Amino acid sequence: MALTGKLEIENEIQTPASKFFHLFTKQLHHVQNITDHIHVGELHEGEDWHNIGSVKQWSYTVDGKVVKCKERIEVYDEVNNIIKFDLFEGDLMEQYKSFKITLQISDKGAGGGAVVKWIIDYEKLNEGIPDPSGYLDYVTNVTKDADAHLLTA
């Protein structure tokens, strides 16, 4: 059993890619207000929520459990609508040595809407740790809630 792994999921949304990307790059502090899956998000270090390297502290629910971690954005790619998050400290580090999430949003084309792709790269502390498959449900739920919010905003 490998200690490193990668999980991926794609979700179709009705919101245009640029609008969804904007939420996660310029309005990240609002995400906690549009989904019940995130309880608290606070700026922990840095000038604002959206600078690369600024540290946020989150409380959210995965697999029916409330967990906490810190997060920083490592990469914004505005050309390809990609954001790379590094999650660290807190409950995650009880099972994982590293945990990174990539968000990529692509327009579907003439029919409108977009495809949201989440990639989770992780390294377990030992072979007895399960894969973090609950995070696929978590990002899917956040995606659905964000899409519904953006459609009415």
- Supply the pTM of this predicted model: 0.94
Domain count for the chain, please give it: 1
For residues 132 and 60, give the distance between their C-alpha atoms in angstroms, rounded to a whole number.
Answer: 14
Other beta carbons within 10 angstroms of residue 146's beta carbon come to 22
11-58 pLDDT, tens digit per residue, is: 999 999 999 999 999 999 899 999 999 999 999 998 888 889 899 999
Query: Residue 100: which domain range?
Result: 4-152
Percent of the chain with pLDDT over 70: 99
Query: 101, 97, 106: which is closest to 79 by C-alpha?
Result: 106
CATH number for the domain spanning 45: value is 3.30.530.20
Instruction: Label the pairing between strands 65-77 and 96-107.
Output: unpaired
